[in-house]
Amino acid sequence: MLQKDLAIAKFLLTVKDYENFTYNTGNDIVIYSHLKSLGGSEQQLTKSFLSTRKSALLSRSCPFTLYNYAVPYKQEYHYCDIYYTIPSSREIITATYTFGNKQSDTPKIIPTDASYAKLQELLAQRNILDATIHRVYYYLDSREFNIYFTPDDPSDTFQFKGNFNLWETVCLFGATTSKTEIDRSEAICGNKVAYYDTSVKVKHEVETAPLTLSEAQFLTQLLSSQEITREVADGLFAPVIISDISSEVSDNNSNPIRLKFTWTYADQNEFLP
C-alpha cells in the first residue's frame, strides 16, 4: 500500500477447499497504519480521526485536512464549533455548523477541509465577514479534534505522509539557521586561477521551540516519513530531505523538549527570495 500510495484498499481473498473442490471468497477492507492500537482497529477507526494527535496549532494561511473512516450508511452526528471575535467586541463568539449525518454508501476515507480560509467561508455564509477565528472544534460521532490559530508566522510549515499514509500538516515555531557548503577544484595557469567542478549545497538547521510530550511524539512521524514537503509559498510545497536528526523525547516536565534536524530541498536547488 505504501508503494501504491494508498491509505485504504480492498482485497479479494480466495481460499480453495481441496476436499470439495470449491472456492470461498471474501472482501476485506484494509486501512494502512504504521502503529498498533491497544483498543483494536475498530476503536481507532470509529472513535478517532485518522491522526495520532488530537489538536493542532496552525497559522492562518496554513492548509489543513482532517480525515476519517466512513462506515457505510451509518448515521453520525457531525458538526464544528467556530470560536471567533469581531472588531467591535472582545467577547468570544461561537458559531456551530452541522454537516450531513450520512457520509458514504461505501467504506472510504473522507477528507474535511479544516483550514482557516474554509472556516472563513462558513462564517461568510452567515454574513460574518470581519471575524478573527481563534479556534475550531470538530466533532464526528465521538471523534474530536481542536485546531488553534495563531497570527504568528511559523518558521517552517511541512506536509508529510503520517501514520495512516495520509498527508499531515505541521507548523513549526523555532529557529532556522541556513548554511552554505561550497565544494570546488581550482587550477592556476599563467598566474590566473580557474575554478571547476563547483557544487553548492545549502542546508537548513532547525531547532524547534519547546514542545509538549505529545507534540514531540507526533513530530517523530515527520522526521521518519518517506514523503516530506515544505511550504515555499501559500499552498505551494516542494519535496525536502530531512537528515541529522536529534530527537530525545522525555516525559520529565522539568526539561523542555526541543527537536533538532537539518533539511535540504530534494533537488538541491534553492528558490529565489
Domain region containing 196: 155-273
9 within domain boundaries: no
- In whole angstroms, what separates CA 226 from the centre of its chain? 13
**Pair (199, 273) in one structural domain:** yes
Residues sharing a CB contact under 8 Å with residue 42, sequence separation 6 or more, in sequence order: none
**Pair (194, 123) in one structural domain:** no
Could you give phi then psi for residue 142, rounded to 5 degrees?
80, -10
User: pLDDT-derived band of residue 249, with 50, 70 and 90 as boundaries?
Assistant: low
Specify whether the CB–CB gap between 208 and 139 falls below 8 A: no
Look at 15-19, 108-112, 137-141, 209-213 and tell me which has the smallest mean pLDDT.
15-19
Work out the average pLDDT over 45-67: 93
- In whole angstroms, what separates CA 106 from the centre of its chain? 25
**Pair (115, 223) in one structural domain:** no
Specify whether the CB–CB gap between 40 and 26 falls below 8 A: no
**CB hemisphere CA count around 120 (13 angstroms):** 12
**Pair (65, 45) in one structural domain:** yes
**At 215, is the secondary structure helix, strand, or coil?**
helix
Residue 252 has pLDDT above 70, yes or no: no
Q: Which helix (H) or strand (E) holds 216?
A: helix 213-224
**Pair (122, 184) in one structural domain:** no
What does the block give as the cell for 220?
A: 517523530
178 within domain boundaries: yes
125 within domain boundaries: yes
The residue type of 66 is L
Predicted local distance difference test score (pLDDT) of residue 251: 66
The residue type of 76 is E
Distances (CA, A) of 223 to 48, 162, 163, 203: 23, 10, 12, 16
Work out the average pLDDT over 212-241: 92
76 within domain boundaries: yes
Q: Which of 120, 153, 186 corresponds to the end of one domain?
A: 153
User: pLDDT-derived band of residue 261, with 50, 70 and 90 as boundaries?
Assistant: very high
Q: Which of 137, 153, 169 corresponds to the end of one domain?
A: 153
49 within domain boundaries: yes
**Pair (138, 160) in one structural domain:** no
**Pair (60, 132) in one structural domain:** yes
The residue type of 221 is Q
**Pair (164, 259) in one structural domain:** yes
**Pair (272, 169) in one structural domain:** yes
**Pair (182, 140) in one structural domain:** no
Number of domains in the chain: 2
**How wide is the angle at C-alpha 60 spanned by C-alphas 86 and 179, nearest 5°?**
145
Can you tell me the distance from the alpha carbon of 34 to that of 45, in angstroms, rounded to the nearest whole number?
14
**Pair (175, 116) in one structural domain:** no
Specify whether the CB–CB gap between 25 and 115 falls below 8 A: no
Give residue for cell 460521532.
141
Q: Which residue stretches of 4-138 are H helix?
A: 41-47, 116-124
211 within domain boundaries: yes
Q: Which of 153, 185, 217 corresponds to the end of one domain?
A: 153
26 within domain boundaries: no
Residues sharing a CB contact under 8 Å with residue 114, sequence separation 6 or more, in sequence order: 64, 65, 66, 80, 136, 138, 145, 147
**Pair (84, 101) in one structural domain:** yes
Can you tell me the distance from the alpha carbon of 41 to that of 8, in angstroms, rounded to the nearest whole number?
13
- In whole angstroms, what separates CA 249 from the centre of its chain? 20
What's 199's domain CATH number?
Answer: 2.40.30
27 within domain boundaries: no
pTM value > 0.75: yes
User: pLDDT-derived band of residue 250, with 50, 70 and 90 as boundaries?
Assistant: low
The residue type of 43 is Q
Residue 197 has pLDDT above 90, yes or no: no
